[in-house]
Structure 1
Amino acid sequence: MKILSKLAAAIIICLLAACGTFLDEQPNTTEQKTEIGSGKRIPVKLVKVIDGDTVKIKINNHEETVRFLLVDTPESVHPTRPVQPFGIEASQFTKKLMSNGKTEIELDVSERDKYGRLLAYVYVNGSSVQEALLREGLARVAYVYAPNTKYADEYRIIQSEAQQNEKGIWSLENYATEDGFESPNKEASSNLGKCSIKGNLSSSGDKIYHMPDGRYYDMTIPEQWFCSEKEAKYSGFRRSQQ
């Protein structure tokens, strides 16, 4: 009986040791929970920038996808939507801003969205990435839902300044709205005398834009309107050869 008791005790100790090793390999969720809503910034390692408002980080040796809280940038890599005006610019801006320096995140009250992504305020060298995007007119204030509303007022002030200066997304009439980013329609462009460049997907999937003096301009049904060739190129379109 003594031998069996010693054997059972040895097995229990072994199991506990194994469990301890397993937990050490997992993200320290208990530690993360204590940071939520506290205003404390958590040092993380940037793995890659996915687009203007989404990055992948490593925390406690575990990779997480982080969605920037309270801001929305135009799409640049959406699987079912075309590249939107200023989407590539926003993505490139975030990449450049976060390429060097110390990355930190700050959690609010609700930790994740419905896709399982971490929701966070993101900082590089102590400066807010969200504020920088808003200041450059590369993002709009969005998804302001309680309880994650900590910096909503500050962000709206910065956005208002970008709107007044018609920077980035605010340089396009009726493009950035409360519901998202909308391509200017034909009626709006003709009334405004701009946004007359037609973006269209060819039968082979190529993104081509047509200028008003182009051969196929009149017969082209636009899937997207652009106000300048620069904007069209930033959105991944090439000029029609005719």
Structure 2
Amino acid sequence: MHAYKNIALILFSSIVILTGCTEVKQVSEQSQSKESTEQQSLIKAKVEKVVDGDTISVQMNGSEETVRMLLIDTPETKHPNKPVQPYGPEASQFAKEKLSGQQIKLEIGTTKRDKYDRILAYVYVNGEMYNKQVVQSGLARVAYVYPPNDKYVEELRKAEQDAKNNARGIWNEPDYVQEDGFHADAIQEKKKQPDSSQSNISLPYAPDGPDRDCGDFQKQIVAQAFFEAAGGPSEDPHRLDRDQDGVVCETLP
């Protein structure tokens, strides 16, 4: 009788061990399967051209595609019906520095394309999500959130809050970023108020007078004051800011 009990105990222990091993194996296989699926969902591509801060052209699967990055919006530089918006050139430059010519990976959204036939995706470069990087730098806002195509919206909102808290880029301009987009007129109103560092500068020409270029000025600070008085980067009627960086006539002393 005692022998039977020992045999039963051994059999029971074996079953428990085997069951445990099977469960561990299943968990391991499920984990590997999930990892494999996530890897497969990332598509390799090469950046051929940076269009602006939130749009790029890429080579993928043997063809050229335009990619519009999910959940972000940068100020315009190429819109057919809008002027160049403040911080648009900076956002484009940021994208060029991070993405130009790079091998990247795309995580395509649940809705694959927008109405312009652009691929909607999260862009990864060197293992980091560009969408998050540009938001955290203060050169993009979180926008166009349409569930279920909003997988990383909470992560991006945290990055946006960090940029706000530190007054980076677009968040350094009161009322520039609003629910419906960017409002250059808010910055324009601010620019109309005299800058204390330039308030004592006597302008040699009327800002709304005949066209002027950098050759008409002796000092950069005078050209800059004239540029600001004429409306600054949102208007620039004299086209003094050729590279659209907000600083004019850099070659002047």
Quote how far apart the aligned CAs of 1:232 are: 9.6
Cα 1:213–1:48 change in 2 (3 A) is closer
CA distance, structure 2, for counterparts of residue 188 and residue 223 of structure 1: 12
**Residue 44 of structure 2 aligns to a residue in which SS?**
strand
Q: Between Structure 1 and Structure 2, whose CA radius of gyration is higher?
A: 2
CA distance, structure 2, for counterparts of residue 235 and residue 201 of structure 1: 22
AA at the equivalent of 1:150 = K
**Equivalent of 1:224 in 223, 226, 234:** 234
CA distance, structure 2, for counterparts of residue 216 and residue 107 of structure 1: 43
Quote how far apart the aligned CAs of 1:37 are: 9.5
Aligned twin of 2:169: 168
Quote how far apart the aligned CAs of 1:184 are: 3.6
Residue ranges of structure 2 left out of the alignment (5+ in a row) = 1-36, 199-206, 214-221
**Residue 167 of structure 2 aligns to a residue in which SS?**
coil
State the identity %. 39
CA distance, structure 1, for counterparts of residue 208 and residue 49 of structure 2: 29
Aligned twin of 1:118: 119
* Equivalent residue pairs, number: 193
Quote how far apart the aligned CAs of 1:59 are: 1.2
Aligned twin of 1:234: 244
Aligned twin of 1:59: 60
Quote how far apart the aligned CAs of 1:222 are: 7.8
Quote how far apart the aligned CAs of 1:213 are: 5.8
Give the TM-score, by structure 1 length: 0.66
Quote how far apart the aligned CAs of 1:102 are: 3.0
Higher strand proportion: 1
Cα 1:86–1:110 change in 2 (3 A) is same
Aligned twin of 2:140: 139
Quote how far apart the aligned CAs of 1:234 are: 3.4
Cα 1:113–1:202 change in 2 (3 A) is farther
In the alignment, structure 1 residue 75 sits paired with structure 2 residue 85: no
Quote how far apart the aligned CAs of 1:78 are: 1.9
Aligned twin of 1:87: 88
CA distance, structure 2, for counterparts of residue 202 and residue 117 of structure 1: 44
Does the CA contact (< 8 Å) of 1:38 and 1:108 recur in 2? no
Quote how far apart the aligned CAs of 1:98 are: 1.3
The Cα offsets for residues 117-154 of structure 1, whole Å up to 9 and x where unpaired, read as 00000010111001110111010000001221100011
After superposition, the CA RMSD in angstroms is 4.0
Aligned twin of 1:179: 180
Cα 1:115–1:193 change in 2 (3 A) is same
Give the TM-score, by structure 2 length: 0.63
**Residue 93 of structure 1 aligns to a residue in which SS?**
helix
Does the CA contact (< 8 Å) of 1:49 and 1:91 recur in 2? yes
Cα 1:54–1:216 change in 2 (3 A) is closer
Cα 1:165–1:61 change in 2 (3 A) is same
Quote how far apart the aligned CAs of 1:221 are: 7.2
